[in-house]
Structure 1
Amino acid sequence: MDDHAAMDPHITGTTRLYGLVGDPLTAAKSPQLLNQLFTEQRVDAVCVPFWVKAQNLHAFVSGARATGNLSGMLVTMPHKQRMLEFVDELDSTARQVGALNVVRCEADGRWVGAIFDGAGCVLGMQWEGNHPANKSVLLVGSGGAGSAIAFAVASAGASRLTISDIDEHRAADLAAAVSAETGCDVRSGPPDPQGFQVVINATPLGMKAGDAMPVDPERLTPGAIVVDIINAPEPTPLRRAAQARGCRTQDGGPMHRGQAVYALKFLGFDYRPEGRSIPDPQ
């Protein structure tokens, strides 16, 4: 096969560029999703991964700002909070959460940031029959994704929400903000899952072999719903242990597809996975 045959024939000098920015990106599925969408909708665009380490984010943004055909970016760990420094305007979701996971690059050069991890997580849970409404929820992790999920779960009608993080002050600050914004019974506390109907892992624990468990699976209540937002091909140790405990589990796939619905709408595309219903985000 020659070089010309190996190239994607739809990429031309007018092709718009979208990117996925993060570190690591080995398990990333967004480029496949977007490129399939672009092909189906006959859009002259392509999505590529940008592997950018934390210390190189400023240099990356400087170069990206000079790229005239860059139309948008999806942003993942560890850049969801620091990328706030580099956008010109924040959507209401990003202002509320203090993080972003998508950037729309406007024709006039402005960058607008938003975050849909929370709405996507709740939508994915709804699709799987695991809606958090009227349930007690333990959320472990209060970073960018965790913060978004906290606001969304509380807004979706959780009966009570406990937020746990290795940084206890950050968890307490987030709990206070979510409580004030939503009126939900929200507090911070230890990562003890006993008695909770829903447990959500919004930490990176489980992405690497040998990671500690985000919660003690022996403390899980049998029959509880355990959502691990890590989007991996194989069940994480938490999900395997939870299943052995008699819990219902959900991986990161539904959240990934759910947040993609809202992120792509923000970027100007219509994406409806598997014909599933798409309610407006909270």
Structure 2
Amino acid sequence: MIPAPTGATRLHVIVGDPIAQVRSPAGVTAAFAARGHDGILMPVQVAPADLPDFLAVAARLKNLDGIVVTIPHKFACYLACASATDRAHFLGAVNLMRRRADGAWHGDMVDGLGFVGAARAKGIDPKGMRALLVGAGGAGSAIARELVEAGVSELAVHDSSTERRDALIGRLNALGKAPVRAGTRDPQGLDFVANATPAGMKQGDPLPVDVARLAPSAYCGCVITRPEVSPFIAAARELGCVTATGTDMYQQHQGIMVDFLLGTDEA
């Protein structure tokens, strides 16, 4: 049972726009309680134009220990961090911020760990696979890096912004670990397909890939948590593909998030 908050309860917030789709407040709060930590995670909806004001106020809240960052703030919040992990520096984005002893923020980006962890939980090892990533934003960039680190044989990246896509491709190719190229919505010949866009959150959204050209043997993963099963995942399942939802992804990285927010990742 989760204890009722008191004046001594340590506060964490998850910030995004929109915010109603997030699943982490209840799970992270329960995880805090399970570890004997008197803390809570609360959702706050902040528009991009208001983010600087929010961060300025957040820095002055003495009982605010951490921030979980979701769409569309991951790149902007990185700039607010005084320090960050190597993967966050590489990506220029964060989805976690922890208060340092001096009051400044330390950031990390663990979306890729959760996404690849969800695939492995379904029995899919990305090593040696030909992968397609749709979406080169904060989550997509993190997933792309983790797929390259996991040993995919090649990675195709598709994004509506060719500038953002090409910048990510350039950074990933500089690692020298797997060839990364521009992709399209066509998944033919690829056996690992990742949707890291919001496509499917709103009724009538187009599918992120041409599902008719998916192979039944392809693995399909998605970052969307609401609806629980995105239209892309539903279509892939009809073909017989192994799939993972955004909730599967979240379940894999919840423990990583809590470790970071409580500072136990450094133990």
TM bin, normalised by shorter chain, reads over 0.9
Residue pairs, 1:21-100, within 5 angstroms? 21-100=15-94
2: distance between equivalents of 1:71 and 1:234? Answer: 30
List alignment gaps of at least 5 residues for structure 1.
1-7, 272-282
User: Is the alpha carbon distance of 1:267 and 1:182 closer, same or farther for their aligned partners in structure 2, counting shifts above 3 Å?
Assistant: farther
List alignment gaps of at least 5 residues for structure 2.
none
2: distance between equivalents of 1:188 and 1:262? Answer: 31
1:186 maps to: 180
Do residues 113 (structure 1) and 103 (structure 2) align? no
Are the aligned partners of 2:228 and 2:247 in contact in 1 as well (CA < 8 Å)?
A: no
1:37 alignment partner AA:
A
1:46 alignment partner AA:
I
| TM-score where L is the length of structure 1 | 0.89
Where relative contact order (Cα < 8 A, 6+ residues apart) is larger, the structure is 2
Are the aligned partners of 1:118 and 1:259 in contact in 2 as well (CA < 8 Å)?
A: no
Q: Percent identity?
A: 38
2: distance between equivalents of 1:150 and 1:9? Answer: 39
Do residues 204 (structure 1) and 170 (structure 2) align? no
Q: 2:96 aligns with which of 99, 102, 122?
A: 102
1:153 alignment partner AA:
L
**What is the alpha-carbon root mean square deviation over aligned residues?**
1.7
1: distance between equivalents of 2:73 and 2:3? Answer: 32
Bigger shift: 12-21 or 198-207? 12-21
Structure 1 stretches of 4+ with a deviation exceeding 3 A read none
Tell me the matched-pair count: 264
CA-CA distance at 1:51 after TM superposition: 1.2
1:279 maps to: none
Are the aligned partners of 2:58 and 2:64 in contact in 1 as well (CA < 8 Å)?
A: yes
CA-CA distance at 1:157 after TM superposition: 0.7
Q: 1:150 aligns with which of 139, 144, 147?
A: 144
